[in-house]
C-alpha cells in the first residue's frame, strides 16, 4: 500500500490548478441514466471514485467512452456516457459499499425505468450515514419501497413517479440530488424545501437544464422542478473543487507560504475565507482564481461546520490541523457527521494539544508539530495529516493513502511543484 513521506518546514510558493470537483462529478455521471442520448462531461478529476462510478454505470449497461475508446475500469478528463441500452437495474453491494455516492443511481433509474434495486450503503468511517431521506422523498413521489436482503427495492406507480412537495427534515446533499434527478422525469411539479444549497447541487441543476429539464430556485433552499417526458443529451463541464481549493489554501497558511489557486472561486468559499481571515490568513481574488498568503503567524478561531453556505464539514479536519499551530485556542464543532474526529489521535501523536468533548474539539495551539508515522481512515482526515506533516519538524509518513487518492488528484505532485519536500513511496502489501 502506498505511503507519503513528507519532510516539513518548507513554505509553499507558486500556483496550483484546481481540478474538477469529485462531489459534483459523481451526481453528474449518474445523471446520464436519465436519457437515452449521450451525456459528455468535461473537466473531470482523475480519481478512483470517478472510475468506480464509471464501472457502476457500465454494469447497468451505460457505454462509457474516453477519447472515443471503451473506458471500462478507467477514467479521463472527459467522458462520454451513453445510457441508450440499459440492461440491468441493480446496483450491487460490492460497488455501493466501496462508494456511498453509488446510491445516486437510485433516483434516475427509478424515474426512467420505473424500478431499481440498489444496495444499502451501510455505515462508513465518519458515521452511520443513513439514506432514509432519499427513500422518504421517493415515497412522497409515489414510489413503493421495500428493504430486502440489504437492498432497496424501489418501484414507481403505473405511469411513473408523480411530482410532490417534500420538506427535508434535515439538509442532505445526496438526497437533494437524488430527488432533483428523479423529479425531472416525474409527472407534474415537484417542490423540494429545505433543500441543500451546496454549489455541487447548482452544478447538477445546470447540467439537467442543459439536458432539457426545467428547474427553478438554483442556489436557494427551495427547488421547483417541472417534470418532462424525456431529457436529451448535453455536454457539461464540472465546476472546480472548492474542497481541494480550501485544502490547498490551508496548506499555504500552515507553511507560512503564498499560493495562487487557479480556478478557485470566491463565491464557493466565502465562509472558509472569512474563517481564514480571522486566523490572519489573507485570501484575495486574482484574474485566475484566489491568492492565499500567510506569514505563518496564525491565530486561533472557532469553527462550526454547517450545510452550505456555512463552513464545510469536508474542510473541518484540515482546519483543525491549521489550528494546531495557531496562537491561542480554537473550538471546532462538527454538526454534520457524528464521528468525524478520527484525525485527532493522529494529530496528537505529532504533538498537537486537542481535547474532544462530544461533537466539539478544543485545540490549544502549540509552537511546533513534530513528524511521526500516522495513518487515517477517511479522505479528509488523511489530508489533514499531510498538512500537519508539511508544517512539522522532521519526517512524517502518512500510511494507507488510498483514502487520499479517492479525493485528491496527484496531491504530492501538486504540492511538491510548490516547494513541498514530499514523495510517494510504493510498497507491496
Catalytic site positions: 124
CB of 204 to ligand UD1, least distance (A): 10
Considering CB under 6 A, how many residues would be counted as binding ligand UD1? 22
Q: Which CB, 181 or 325, lies closer to ligand UD1?
A: 181
Q: CA–CA separation, 316 vs 314, rounded Å?
A: 6
Instruction: Return all residues near 198 (Cβ < 8 A) that are at least 6 apart.
Output: 23, 173, 307, 308
CB of 315 to ligand UD1, least distance (A): 10
Instruction: Give the max Cα distance, the chain.
Output: 66
The strands making up 360-364's β-sheet, listed across from edge to edge, are 303-304, 329-333, 360-364, 353-357
CB of 132 to ligand UD1, least distance (A): 5
Site membership for ligand UD1, residue 271 (CB under 6 A)? no
Phi and psi angles of residue 130, each rounded to the nearest 5 degrees, phi first? -70, 170
Strands 90-91 and 115-119: parallel
Q: Which of residues 56-75 bind ligand UD1 (CB under 6 A)?
A: none
Site membership for ligand UD1, residue 179 (CB under 6 A)? no
Helices (H), strands (E): how many in the chain? 14, 25
Choice from 47, 101, 140, 192 touching ligand UD1 (CB under 6 A): 101
For residues 319 and 331, the answer to whether their CB atoms sit within 8 Å is no
Site membership for ligand UD1, residue 337 (CB under 6 A)? yes
CA distances from 326 to 141, 151, 172, 270, 278 (A): 50, 47, 32, 21, 11
Residue nearest ligand UD1 (C-beta atom): 174
Choice from 75, 313, 330, 382 touching ligand UD1 (CB under 6 A): 313
Choice from 31, 133, 283, 332 touching ligand UD1 (CB under 6 A): 133
Q: CA–CA separation, 209 vs 228, rounded Å?
A: 11
Phi and psi angles of residue 54, each rounded to the nearest 5 degrees, phi first? -60, -40
CB of 248 to ligand UD1, least distance (A): 17
Instruction: Return all residues near 142 (Cβ < 8 A) that are at least 6 apart.
Output: 156, 157, 161, 162, 164
- Per-residue binding string, ligand UD1, 16-55, x by CB under 6 A, is -------x--x-----------------------------
Site membership for ligand UD1, residue 130 (CB under 6 A)? yes
- Could you tell me which of 241, 321, 239, 243 has the C-alpha nearest to residue 279? 321
CB of 422 to ligand UD1, least distance (A): 24
Choice from 231, 336, 381, 385 touching ligand UD1 (CB under 6 A): 336
Phi and psi angles of residue 20, each rounded to the nearest 5 degrees, phi first? -65, 155
For residues 404 and 427, the answer to whether their CB atoms sit within 8 Å is no
- Per-residue binding string, ligand UD1, 137-176, x by CB under 6 A, is ---------------------------------x-xxxx-
Pick the stretch among 51-59, 69-77, 129-137, 284-292 that binds ligand UD1 (CB under 6 A): 129-137
Q: Could you list the residues that contact ligand UD1 (CB under 6 A)?
A: 23, 26, 100-101, 127, 129-134, 170, 172-175, 196, 200, 313-314, 336-337
Amino acid at each position: 500500500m502506498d505511503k507519503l513521506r513528507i519532510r516539513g518546514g518548507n513554505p509553499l510558493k507558486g500556483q496550483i490548478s484546481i481540478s474538477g470537483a469529485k462531489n459534483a462529478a459523481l451526481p453528474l455521471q449518474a445523471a446520464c441514466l436519465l436519457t437515452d442520448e449521450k451525456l459528455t462531461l468535461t473537466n473531470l478529476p482523475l480519481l478512483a471514485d470517478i472510475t468506480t462510478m464509471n464501472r457502476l454505470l457500465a454494469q447497468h449497461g451505460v457505454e462509457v467512452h474516453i477519447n472515443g475508446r471503451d473506458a471500462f475500469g478507467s477514467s479521463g478528463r472527459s467522458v462520454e456516457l451513453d445510457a441508450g441500452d440499459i440492461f440491468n437495474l441493480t446496483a450491487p453491494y460490492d460497488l455501493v459499499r466501496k462508494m456511498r455516492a453509488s446510491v445516486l443511481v437510485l433516483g434516475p433509474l427509478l424515474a426512467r425505468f420505473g424500478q431499481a434495486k440498489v444496495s444499502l450503503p451501510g455505515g462508513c468511517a465518519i458515521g452511520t450515514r443513513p439514506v432514509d431521506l432519499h427513500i422518504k422523498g421517493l415515497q412522497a413521489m409515489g414510489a413503493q419501497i421495500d428493504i430486502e436482503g440489504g437492498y432497496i427495492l424501489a418501484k414507481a406507480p403505473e405511469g411513473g413517479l408523480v411530482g410532490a412537495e417534500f420538506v427535508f427534515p434535515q439538509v442532505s446533499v445526496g438526497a437533494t440530488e437524488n430527488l432533483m434527478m428523479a423529479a425531472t422525469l416525474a409527472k407534474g411539479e415537484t417542490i423540494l424545501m429545505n433543500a441543500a444549497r451546496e454549489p455541487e447541487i447548482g452544478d447538477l441543476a445546470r447540467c439537467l437544464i442543459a439536458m432539457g429539464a426545467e428547474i427553478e430556485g438554483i442556489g436557494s433552499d427551495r427547488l421547483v422542478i417541472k417534470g418532462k417526458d424525456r431529457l436529451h443529451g448535453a455536454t457539461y463541464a464540472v465546476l472546480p473543487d472548492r474542497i481541494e481549493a480550501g485544502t490547498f489554501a490551508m496548506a499555504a497558511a500552515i507553511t507560512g507560504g503564498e499560493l495562487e489557486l487557479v480556478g478557485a472561486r470566491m463565491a464557493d468559499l466565502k465562509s472558509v475565507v472569512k474563517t481564514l481571515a480571522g486566523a490572519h490568513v489573507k485570501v484575495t481574488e486574482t484574474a485566475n482564481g484566489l491568492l492565499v498568503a500567510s506569514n505563518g503567524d496564525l491565530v486561533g478561531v472557532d469553527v462550526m461546520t454547517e450545510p452550505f453556505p456555512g463552513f464545510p464539514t469536508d474542510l473541518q479536519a484540515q482546519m483543525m490541523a491549521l489550528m494546531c499551530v495557531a496562537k491561542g485556542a480554537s473550538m471546532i464543532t462538527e454538526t454534520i457527521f457524528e464521528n468525524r474526529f478520527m484525525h485527532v489521535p493522529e494529530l496528537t501523536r505529532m504533538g498537537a494539544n486537542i481535547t474532544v468533548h462530544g461533537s466539539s474539539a478544543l485545540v490549544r495551539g502549540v509552537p511546533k508539530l513534530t513528524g511521526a508515522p500516522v495513518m487515517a481512515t477517511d479522505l479528509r482526515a488523511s489530508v489533514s495529516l499531510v498538512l500537519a506533516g508539511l508544517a512539522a519538524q522532521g519526517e512524517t509518513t502518512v500510511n494507507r493513502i488510498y483514502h487520499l487518492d479517492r479525493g485528491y488528484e496527484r496531491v504530492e505532485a501538486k504540492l511538491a511543484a510548490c516547494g513541498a519536500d514530499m514523495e510517494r513511496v510504493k510498497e507491496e502489501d
